[in-house]
Amino acid sequence: MNKIYNSFLTSFGLICRIPIKMEYKSDFSLFGLFFPLIGIIVSALVLVSFYILNLVFSQLIIIAVLIIIIQYSAFNLFHFDGLLDCADAFFFNTGKKRRLEILMDKRTGSFAVFAGTLYLILKVFLVYSAINSFVSNGSNWEWIVLLFIYPLSGRISGSLMPALISPADDPGLAKLLLGYSKIAVTVGVILSYSIPFGIVYLLTTGNVNILIAISPLIAAIISGIFISGLSKKVLGGYTGDSIGLSIEIGELVHLIVLVEIMGRLF
């Protein structure tokens, strides 16, 4: 029990900006299990934020912007920093060693500013579009559950990277995840997605299109595999920044797929 307690708080403290005041011993042995499961907590925060904001504000664009602000303030700024650093490193025409040096550089380059701005604009637009489709078509709550588990899909995408490739020459997060368990992350992925899928199943009284329900997750997994391959090619392996990139892209891909599905159905 202590192992589970320590490993959960270690995992939560590593990928969350909310300070943990409870005492625990650092233990990364079950990080692969808790990495995707923590996505449930982030998704719950986003869903509750939508419910409260929807009672206060009438303009959906304001709700969408505030949801992103809340999510990033509590969880995603670390991952967004990884996206920015990777934009500078990946787009710079140089070798692996120099790219790793760029990742360690605290300065923000033009590639990062450009990519980060476009990313946030697109993400806000996708959240707004999905909420608008939800409100305009009868407010079926299974759709809002499928929408707001995009943080879960992102963390599933990011959790695959240490299981697929080796760490690059990085003294940070990557070194802490040596011995990362493929079995643990597989169990974590299955458990984490079973929870929202079960909720959707209950909301639809069993009348759920399984393909639609899992399509965003499948897309996020594919994006995680792609980012892993890209990280191996340009960096020689994964780093903490490339895991952050995979989380952000996984979230975005989930939103793109779901918005496209909702647009075609509605």
pLDDT at 139 over 70: no
- Tell me the percentage of the chain whose pLDDT exceeds 70: 96
pTM over 0.85: yes
Split into its structural domains, the chain has a count of 1
150 lies in a domain?
yes
Look at the block and give the residue holding tokens 């299109």.
209
21 lies in a domain?
no
Q: How confident is the model at residue 134 (pLDDT cuts 50, 70, 90)?
A: confident
23 lies in a domain?
no
Of residues 9, 40, 254, 8, the one with CA closest to residue 127: 254
**Helices assigned H by DSSP within the chain:** 2-15, 31-56, 60-71, 77-91, 96-104, 110-136, 141-148, 150-164, 173-176, 182-203, 210-235, 240-265
First to last CA, the chain: 47
197 lies in a domain?
yes
Domain that holds residue 121: 2-11+28-265
208 lies in a domain?
yes
19 lies in a domain?
no
pLDDT at 141 over 70: yes
Segment 185-206, tens digit of pLDDT: 999 999 999 999 888 888 887 7
Angle between helices 31-56 and 141-148 in degrees, nearest 10: 130
Q: How confident is the model at residue 244 (pLDDT cuts 50, 70, 90)?
A: very high
Report how far residue 239's alpha carbon sits from residue 234's, in angstroms, rounded to the nearest whole number: 11
189 lies in a domain?
yes
Q: Taking the CA atoms of the chain, what radius of gyration do you get in angstroms?
A: 18
Segment 70-96, tens digit of pLDDT: 999 999 998 999 999 999 988 887 888
54 lies in a domain?
yes
